[in-house]
Chains A and B, each alone.
Chain A
Amino acid sequence: MTTPISPPARKNPQKRTRVPVVPPDTRSRAALGLSVAAARGRFMLQVCTECSAIQYPPRDACSSCLSVDLEWQVVSNRGRLVAETVIRTSTHVYFRERTPWRVGTVQLDCGPSMICHVHGDCESQGNVRMINRLDKSGHGVLFALPEKEIPAMEDDPQLRELTCSPKFRRILITDARSESGQALARAFSTADAALVFAGEAESWRHWPERDSLKEIDNVELVPLDVSDTQSVEELCGEIGGKVDILVNNARFVRPGGVMDGGDLVFAQQEMEVNCLGLMRLAQAFGPVMRGRGADGVNSATAWVNILSIYAYCNLPQFGVYSASSAAAHSLSQCLRSEMRTGGVRVMNVYTGPTEDEWHQPLPPPKVTASKLASAVVEGLQDGLEEVYVGDLAKDLIDRWSAEPKLLELEMTRQGGG
């Protein structure tokens, strides 16, 4: 049985912080397909489009018929653990620090056999369920879970390395004033976060939910305005070393396109908050989080950006807001690459129009704050990189992946998405 993790003791201020090392991070182009699938939490393998043979390890030609038309598809994740070993010593520092480390060979019911990491509760020679998740180098790796759910399963030390679990971690939510901020604070408190810092901008401007937010267990209001460099730097100076998960939900939304606004004032605000706000936070909190990527049970583990799904394709009704989200999307890719050496995940949560005042005239389906918050927490528990919340966002990314230009035509010439 997995030993449940305990809330970590207070960090010894006289001890040096362990420097993060990441697992092997080189993959061939074909193997990157596994990382793409893991970013979205999917168990996928290459399937030959001509003879249907399922391939593993990833490759460039079918091992049955030599066709080069291989397609990544979701396949059955059931299998049997046919061999296992416990690594006691490794030449790679990442694993050397984490031995004993259980590895096995699983034969999938659908055919291929694969070397994988193995959960401590898997029975030798027994049935398993496979998952495909990102390891600390940001690459997809295969992991065998016991067939049935077991209490405290998520606390298996090898599995916890593949997730960004909020359990016993300290969270910073950058905008407490918004509905999403309040829902996020509730969701993290429920998910056993040790502490939730909720950033409050412009405390000189009253907001009605303030008192009820302060009453949630383990939530603390802290001053934070992502458009104010001093504010960001000061807060980081105070709590930077205690932020294990940063959720940037701060945003400035206004309807309007390029030509009809008449001025740049709202556009400047949107870029300032949605794009440069992210950059300010990253400059302040990024380095310290990256340095704490291997800092024990409550290591720094994830940076979450809440973005609009229209970062992928502009919604002219919210044209400038879409562009500001696109800018943030691009910056977040840069941030992701900069965070890699620390093993800190950058997770983007893309949402369709949210159920709030600025999207009030838009038709359903819209995303409620609580649904958004659940998606964030669940995405972190699975260690994902990309989450699409709500039917509209899922539909849009599906169309964009098929042909981006076609989506643009649908959204700009056919009367909206």
Chain B
Amino acid sequence: MTVTNSQDNHALTSLASAMANGEVVTIDLTHTLDPDFPVIILPPEFGQCARFRMEEISAYDHRGPAWKWHNFSCCEHTGTHFDAPIHWISGRDLPNNSVDEIPVERFIGAACVIDCSEGAARDDDFELTPEVIEAWEADHGRIPPDCWVLMRTDWSKRSGAAYLNMRDDGAHSPGPSPEGIRLLVEQRDIRGFGVETVGTDAGQGQHYTPPFPAHYTLHGNNKYGLQCLNNLDLLPPVGAVIIATPLKIKNGTGSPLRVLALVPRSHAV
């Protein structure tokens, strides 16, 4: 007979009632999956990320009189989505590196939110450098181990062509420098890195060494990524717990998902 740990019970029931009475607020960090949401663009010779598409099967009509449903299609990396370590070459051989094998407790965890919105407003190519990180820690304390780090840029408020922000030499959007992401992964041992842009790397990330340092470093160290997040401006710098559960796709490299944040009402913005 298992002895129930009354303290654990108490934490969960407290959470449930706190959510019910509004002491804990649920914030949706997810963009709506729809056909017009931008996806990452690669050089045309490479395979591309499929856009989100829906085909109606029936709508209470001759194709199905009492029901409505759709087939949909997309890439694993369409819309608000999760990157698993198997997505990148540097993580190809690591244990439990696909979405179906990541231990499920890894999908729920605390998050630190680093506000780079002013810098991103000034500079499309704003970099999250060790200096920016350490400046944040000076205000909010050292980033704890196994924590999600979310880079707030308010980029999710952009729409249309301004979101990918493509120019003749490619996309221009904020992201971590190689040193910045190495600091987070190697020194702070974060669980994963989340951004509001279409990729964990900066728009010009291919020009770093290594190219795409966020993907390379995160996934090479069995860490995760979250992209196309929304509403990061509603989160406190510390204290949020995020829930990010990708679909259990066999050998999946990622999936579109619902990302939620639980935030104490007093800390909600």
Direct A/B contact, Cβ within 8 angstroms: yes
Residues on A lying within 8 angstroms of B by beta carbon are 202-206, 208, 225, 227-231, 263, 265-266, 269, 357
B161 is contacted by which of A206, A227, A229 (Cβ under 8 Å)?
A206
Main secondary structure of the interface of A (DSSP, over half): loop
CB–CB B53/A228 < 8 A: yes
| Contact partners of B38 in chain A: CB under 8 A | 202, 204-205
Q: 10 tightest CB-CB pairs across the interface, nearest first?
A: A204-B38, A228-B35, A265-B47, A206-B161, A206-B166, A204-B160, A204-B161, A230-B35, A204-B163, A229-B55
CA distance A229 to B36 in the complex (A): 12
CA distance A388 to B154 in the complex (A): 52
| Contact partners of A231 in chain B: CB under 8 A | 35-36
Whether A229 touches B54, Cβ cut-off 8 Å, given contacts A203-B161, A205-B38, A206-B161, is yes
CA distance A229 to B51 in the complex (A): 12
CB distance from A121 to the nearest CB of B (A): 52
With A204-B163, A230-B35, A230-B54 already in contact, 13 other A-B pairs whose C-beta atoms are closer than 8 Å:
A202-B51, A203-B160, A205-B38, A205-B41, A206-B164, A206-B167, A225-B51, A229-B55, A229-B56, A231-B35, A265-B47, A266-B47, A269-B48
CB–CB B56/A205 < 8 A: no
Q: Mark B164-185, 1 if CB is under 8 A from A, else 0.
A: 1011100000000000000000
Give the nearest-CB partner of B45 in chain A.
A254
| Contact partners of A202 in chain B: CB under 8 A | 38, 51
CB distance from A41 to the nearest CB of B (A): 37
A227 is contacted by which of B51, B159, B160 (Cβ under 8 Å)?
B51
CB distance from A235 to the nearest CB of B (A): 13
CA distance A203 to B164 in the complex (A): 11
CB distance from A233 to the nearest CB of B (A): 9
| Contact partners of B167 in chain A: CB under 8 A | 206
Interface residues contributed by chain B, number (CB under 8 Å): 20
| Contact partners of A229 in chain B: CB under 8 A | 53-56
Whether A204 touches B164, Cβ cut-off 8 Å, given contacts A227-B53, A228-B51, A265-B47, is yes
CB distance from B8 to the nearest CB of A (A): 46
Residues on B lying within 8 angstroms of A by beta carbon are 35-36, 38, 41, 44, 47-48, 51, 53-56, 159-161, 163-164, 166-168
| Contact partners of B161 in chain A: CB under 8 A | 203-206
| Contact partners of A225 in chain B: CB under 8 A | 35, 51
Whether A205 touches B53, Cβ cut-off 8 Å, given contacts A225-B35, A230-B35, is no
| Contact partners of A228 in chain B: CB under 8 A | 35, 51, 53
> What are 27 contact pairs spanning A and B, CB under 8 A?
A202-B38, A202-B51, A203-B160, A204-B38, A204-B159, A204-B161, A204-B163, A204-B164, A205-B41, A205-B164, A205-B166, A206-B161, A206-B164, A206-B167, A208-B168, A225-B35, A225-B51, A228-B35, A228-B51, A228-B53, A229-B55, A230-B35, A231-B36, A263-B47, A265-B48, A266-B47, A357-B44
CA distance A347 to B66 in the complex (A): 40
| Contact partners of B48 in chain A: CB under 8 A | 265, 269
| Contact partners of B55 in chain A: CB under 8 A | 229
CB distance from B35 to the nearest CB of A (A): 4
| Contact partners of B168 in chain A: CB under 8 A | 208
CA distance A204 to B36 in the complex (A): 8
| Contact partners of A205 in chain B: CB under 8 A | 38, 41, 161, 164, 166
Give the nearest-CB partner of B160 in chain A.
A204
Give the nearest-CB partner of B159 in chain A.
A204
CB distance from B77 to the nearest CB of A (A): 13
Give the nearest-CB partner of A227 in chain B.
B53
CA distance A203 to B56 in the complex (A): 24
| Contact partners of A203 in chain B: CB under 8 A | 160-161
| Contact partners of A263 in chain B: CB under 8 A | 47
CA distance A227 to B36 in the complex (A): 11
CB distance from B169 to the nearest CB of A (A): 12
CA distance A227 to B35 in the complex (A): 10
| Contact partners of B35 in chain A: CB under 8 A | 225, 228, 230-231
CA distance A350 to B229 in the complex (A): 45
| Contact partners of B166 in chain A: CB under 8 A | 205-206
CB distance from A12 to the nearest CB of B (A): 32
CB distance from B173 to the nearest CB of A (A): 13
CB distance from A211 to the nearest CB of B (A): 12
CB distance from B230 to the nearest CB of A (A): 16
CA distance A231 to B34 in the complex (A): 11
CA distance A54 to B48 in the complex (A): 59
| Contact partners of B163 in chain A: CB under 8 A | 204
CA distance A228 to B55 in the complex (A): 9
| Contact partners of B41 in chain A: CB under 8 A | 205
CA distance A282 to B168 in the complex (A): 35
CB distance from A254 to the nearest CB of B (A): 8
- Looking at A202, A225, A231, A263, the one whose CB has the most chain B CB atoms below 10 A away is A202
